[in-house]
Amino acid sequence: MFSVLIAEPQGEIQARLYSFFASRGHTVVATAKDGMEAYAKIQLRKPDLVLLSVNLTRMDNIALARWVKAWSPATRVVFVTPHEGETFRQFVVLLSIEGSICALTLEKDLSAILTKFTQETVPSDTKHSSYNYSWGETL
């Protein structure tokens, strides 16, 4: 089972994500409404999976995804998008993150991603680096 952090400003989507994971036995360790809140909670809770809305404020999803991958390469990052599109798929490749899901087809997309994740092996004692992000820093 995964520990999950959900960074999503829209309450309805956040609730759907929370319900999806809780109903499947995963632990949602934290939720966040903006990027800076997510940044702080990721360091504190060290989740296995981070879901990042593409609509985050105060620190955007791209900067946050880059930081997560630098700080904890084993942490899986998935973007939550309002619609499907080639742009988001390109960011997945560019940022070396694990995927993107569309809010409209959230349950189907997440089921496919979780199936893939459970087939992969992740070390449980993965160390986190001491890398700290400075606001405005280009990663």
Half-sphere exposure of 30 (CA within 13 A, CB side): 21
Neighbours of 54 (CB within 10 A): 19
Residue given tokens 């632990």 in the structure block: 27
Report residue 84 as tokens.
């499907």
Tally Cβ neighbours within 10 Å of residue 6: 27
CATH match of 3-118 with 3.40.50.2300 = yes
Tens-binned pLDDT, residue by residue, of the chain (139 aa)? 899 999 999 999 999 999 999 999 999 999 999 999 999 999 999 999 999 999 999 999 999 999 999 999 999 999 999 887 777 778 888 888 999 999 999 999 999 989 888 887 555 545 455 555 554 554 4
Residue that is written with structure tokens 């939550």 in the block: 80
Instruction: Tokens for 106, please give them.
Output: 């959230």
